[in-house]
Structure 1
Amino acid sequence: MLQSLIAFVGAAFLIAMAPGPSTVVIMRQSMRSGRRAGLVTTLGNETGVLVWGVAAAVGLSALLAASQIAYDALRIIGAAVLVYFGAKALWQARKRGADQTETGAGASADAATEEVRADWSPWRCFRLGLVTNFANPKAGVFAVSFLPQFVPQGAPVLWMLLAFSAMWALIDLVWYTGVVWLVSAARRLMNRPTVRRRLDQVSGVVLVGLGLRLAAEAR
């Protein structure tokens, strides 16, 4: 049991550190709206992780692994969501650049501050994290293939899978909390209008690229 737990914790941390759509979205929310927004977005993402894990434990995620049609449908929907988020970020970057040109740096900075205040909504941030996680069908397939590997022989499978699901979400939460704190610490620099515009452009391109890759790839 102890060996299984140690192996699981190590593997879960490595998985958490691998960058993906959730990383981009959480970092962007932390830069745009501050630490609280980043943490609430993280909670939404981890709720999605927990749901995938529980679904795998009770066998629902096996549908994605067994049915090509179900997997492809969720893959296309997820790709569309990521492309939408990326296009929205690119549009905001373009709008910010136009506003900065028209009003000047000082007024642009004030507008950016007002935008940050308007953008902060706990439910909006939570929903963003949750939807981003659900937009990746690989998480469901991965949960089916990943979690059962660490169940010790003779242990109650369902309860062990549920426990591992909770631990997976908790480990993911610990990692992304650290990411949020690091990004928030550098937020004063990143909150400059020009820097924020570049960051929106980069995150937008990355999200669109991830969405297109998800749409194009075969399982």
Structure 2
Amino acid sequence: MSFDLWLTFVAASTALLLIPGPTILLVFSYALTQGRKVAVATAAGVALGDLIAMTASLMGLGALVLASATAFAVLKWVGAVYLIWLGVKMVRTAGTATLGDMTKASELPAHGVFGHAAAVTALNPKSIGFFIAFVPQFLTPSAPMLPQFAILIATFVTLAALNALAYALLADRLRSRIERPAVMHNLTRLGGLTLIGMGVLTATLKRAT
């Protein structure tokens, strides 16, 4: 994998991770109810959840990428449509986005927070859809798949953990502001527009060689 291709993956992954979703809402929840004392447990749980989701999603991608240019093109367009659809849906529902009942969660010990964060992240359809739709653009069919998967997984999991930790610490410092509906509305709308842009980018990317 070339360094330029890896940097592009880092940028795309960072954009995805910054988008509010089930995982970020959970991070907000624990930061608002328990503060920074569970920040590390939350970040570790997010990392484990993403490791599980990404590994499972990529298990069948190697054969598909190597199969044919036609199969790759079909996957690319399906992924592009999915990302754009998800983005449009987020923009349309931004006005109702809230932290909801999650801010009322009862206190859990660190290991409970870790397990909950891992489960929510592993079952997050946004992440799974991203892995299936976008990751093939960063694979080189002529090179061994396993080393490429290892690099991409390690990169994404590290970024996910750092992102969750940063969100938790930020939410702890800005509790009163984050709870305001307007903030969540704007974050969700921005996230939807970002997903739409990623969908358009997916449709224009070419198969790596």
- Using structure 2 for the length normalisation, give the TM-score: 0.59
Query: What corresponds to 2:153 in structure 1?
Result: 165
- Using structure 1 for the length normalisation, give the TM-score: 0.57
In the TM superposition, 1:25-104 aligns within 5 A as 25-59=26-60, 88-89=101-102, 92=104
Asked whether the 8 Å contact 1:45–1:130 carries over to 2, the reply is yes
1:134 is aligned, of 122, 144, 152, to 122
Q: Is it true that 1:179 corresponds to 2:167 in the alignment?
A: yes
Asked whether the 8 Å contact 1:56–1:143 carries over to 2, the reply is yes
Query: What corresponds to 2:140 in structure 1?
Result: 152
Matches of 1:123 and 1:156 in 2, distance apart?
A: 37
Matches of 2:15 and 2:125 in 1, distance apart?
A: 19
Provide the identity percentage.
Answer: 22
The Cα of 1:153 is off from its aligned counterpart by 4.8
Matches of 1:183 and 1:7 in 2, distance apart?
A: 28
Matches of 1:122 and 1:174 in 2, distance apart?
A: 18
Matches of 2:119 and 2:173 in 1, distance apart?
A: 26
Matches of 1:24 and 1:56 in 2, distance apart?
A: 23
The Cα of 1:120 is off from its aligned counterpart by 4.1
Matches of 2:158 and 2:54 in 1, distance apart?
A: 12
The Cα of 1:14 is off from its aligned counterpart by 0.7
Which deviations, in whole Å up to 9, do the C-alpha atoms of 1:28-78 show, x marking residues without a partner? Answer: 101211213133122212211111111123228x9xx9xxxxxxxxxxxxx
Asked whether the 8 Å contact 1:148–1:161 carries over to 2, the reply is no
Give the superposed CA RMSD: 3.1
Q: Which has the larger radius of gyration?
A: 1
One-letter amino acid of the structure 1 residue matched with residue 23 of structure 2:
S
Residues 183 and 87 (structure 1 numbering): CA distance in 2 closer, same or farther, change over 3 Å? Answer: closer
Matches of 1:179 and 1:140 in 2, distance apart?
A: 21
Structure 2 gap segments, 5+ residues each: 64-74, 76-98, 186-209
Query: What corresponds to 2:24 in structure 1?
Result: 23
